[in-house]
Amino acid sequence: MAIEVKVPKISEGVDTAHVAEVLVSEGDTIQEEQFIIAVETDKASVEVPSSAGGKVKEIKVKEGDEVKVGDVILVLEEEESTAEEKAEEESAEAKEGKAPKEKKPSKEDKKEKPAEVEAETKAVKDKEEETAESEKKAAEPKEKKAKPEKEQSEKKAETEEEEKNLSDVPASPGVRRLAREMDVDIITVKGSGPGGRITEEDVKGAREKEEEKLTEAEKPAQKAPKQLPLSDFSQWGVVERLPLSRIRKATARNTAASWQTIPHVTQFDEADISGIEEYRQKNSKKAEKAGGKLTVTAILVKVAAAALQQFPNFNASIDLEHEEVILKKYFHIGFAVDTEAGLLVPVIRDVNRKTIIEIATEISELAEKARNQELTPDEMQGGSFVISNLGGIGGTNFTPIVYHPQIAILGVARTSIKPVYRDEKFEPRQILPLSLSYDHRLIDGADGARFLRWICQALEDPYKALLGG
Ligand code: CAO
């Protein structure tokens, strides 16, 4: 069902405002009370909360628009299972005297979700699980559900009060956002700006005061702020603030979640690809005829799929919640594409069933689509391993970040000609530097080294790989 979220009454005697910032994007799933736009009036800057939760289907306003009370801000699609339904279920269970069930993954849950969603969901779950409190909570719902109506009306009154108070707080949307990010209750902050306006410095000061109050034992348990405080750079020179693009925001979220939750190790090795280079030259025309370009990336995609077949733990995900390893019996490989809009990772499916020429053609098509921002979400989902080739640009090596919920990623640096001692003499050979970053929770160092060595040997002696060596 579609729900329209409209501009609420902003403050006494004010009917119109300018949209200063749109805080959500189409496709986002938002909660009731989540801030969706920031508006500015002659009197104040206010962040407007959503009157309902659901998936954002359409955003009807943009920055700079003038809006008036009652205008539609966005259209939501109601989520299938609302929080209320879940609460009812839990309440029914509590009535029957059952402890709330551990939520079993549904069919939908089991489907591979985009890494972005999974990374966020997992990070939240991990935090919840880490506290011993969560176990205690499992025994509590019965008592809590005994007075739901009273609680609901109290909560509503609290929210209304908060909303009213928030709209009175003299602070810009940027300062409000900083307060949220730093977990500072902006209502309690005393403004030092003109007319009592709250500045960034006031928020940072309030955060510092909060932290000073904590005992050493309490400090580690605090929620880490999304970012460390920033200075006012304009004190040292001219600065410009630009909004982060959607892709940049997703990359920032994903890489940070991966970095924080996956204990990374990176293994380095080198492959002599002189033979592969000969093969590439010989077959380049054939690939061109098929509409592709026979690059080292295409060959690596094929070799990586063969390596994943040999080492199933690398074609996996780790599920700590259920204490299981999920082995994937499919071989879908993503490859990083550098685009003007940012990093995108399209996925080639069933690589084990495709020829190198087919893979080369698909890489050319998907890379082109990525650069034109024409990839569909489906074309970026379901990968179980990623190859990131920076060799066309340069570099001797690098440490890629694992693409959560995968287990490993292969980094490819620039091929160079090096003297290699063979048959009692030095020969100029084409050497490809490779790096493998992997999740140490599932992969031990020896296995990481074996996996990467296997890839190097398959590049140096493809027949061995074909024969299952
Ligand atoms: N060493 C030396 N040269 C290399 C190379 C390597 N490892 N990899 C590619 N090249 C060369 C190619 O042979 C080609 O040379 P010619 O133009 O002379 O034929 C040139 O670099 C450009 O390659 P390409 O881009 O046409 O094709 P590709 O299949 O090698 O790469 C793609 C495709 C999509 C991987 C690449 O264009 C790209 O976007 N790379 C960046 C990936 C990235 O951003 N990774 C970082 C992610 S963050 O971890």
Q: Using CA of residue 128, residue 131, residue 135, residue 137, what is the dihedral sign?
A: negative
Element (H, E) at 122: helix 115-130
The DSSP secondary-structure symbol of 378 reads G
Which of the residues are catalytic? 440
User: Quick one: which atom of ligand 1 is closest to the CA of 295?
Assistant: 29
At 116 the pLDDT is 37
Most informative mutation of 248, 297, 362 for ligand 1 (most atoms within 8 A of CB)? 297
Sole residue written with tokens 């500045």: 199
Select 246-466's CATH number: 3.30.450.40, 3.90.226.10, 3.30.559.10, 1.20.120.1200: 3.30.559.10
b/e per residue 190-223 (b: at least 16 CB within 10 A):
ebeeeeebbbbebbbebbeeeeeeeeeeeeeeee
Residue by residue, pLDDT tens for the chain (469 residues) are: 789 999 988 766 677 888 888 888 999 888 888 889 888 766 566 778 889 989 999 999 998 888 998 999 999 998 765 445 444 544 444 444 443 333 434 433 433 334 333 333 333 334 334 433 433 343 333 333 333 444 455 545 455 555 545 567 788 777 887 888 787 888 889 888 877 888 888 888 888 887 776 654 445 444 555 778 899 999 999 999 999 988 998 999 999 999 999 999 999 999 999 999 999 999 899 889 988 899 999 999 999 999 999 999 999 999 999 999 999 999 999 999 999 989 999 999 999 999 999 999 999 999 999 999 999 989 999 999 999 999 999 999 999 999 999 999 999 999 999 999 999 999 999 999 999 999 999 999 999 999 999 999 999 998 876 666 5
Which one-letter amino acid corresponds to residue 373?
Q
Strands (E) in 320-415, as ranges, are 324-327, 333-335, 337-339, 342-344, 347-348, 385-389, 408-412
- Closest C-alpha to ligand 1, atom 31: 297
Rounded to 10 deg, the angle between the 356-371 and 296-310 helix axes is 120
At 47 the pLDDT is 78
Q: Is 431 in the pocket of ligand 1 (CB under 6 A)?
A: no
Q: Calculate Rg over the CA atoms of the chain.
A: 27
Q: Is the pTM above the cut of 0.75?
A: no
Rounded to 10 deg, the angle between the 274-289 and 296-310 helix axes is 110
Burial class, 39, CB count within 10 angstroms (exposed 0-12 / middle 13-18 / buried 19+)? buried
- Closest C-alpha to ligand 1, atom 13: 295
Q: Using CA of residue 306, residue 310, residue 313, residue 317, what is the dihedral sign?
A: positive
b/e per residue 369-383 (b: at least 16 CB within 10 A):
bbeeeebeeebbbbb
Element (H, E) at 264: strand 264-272
Domain ranges (residues) in the chain: 2-78, 246-466
Q: How many CB atoms lie within 10 A of CB 245?
A: 12
Select 2-78's CATH number: 1.10.287.610, 3.40.50.970, 2.40.50.100, 2.60.120.260: 2.40.50.100
Q: How far is CA 140 from CA 91, 99, 147, 373, 421, in A?
A: 11, 9, 13, 48, 70
Sole residue written with tokens 């000969």: 278
- Closest C-alpha to ligand 1, atom 19: 295
Q: How far is the CA of 185 from the centre of ligand 1 (A)?
A: 48
At 193 the pLDDT is 80
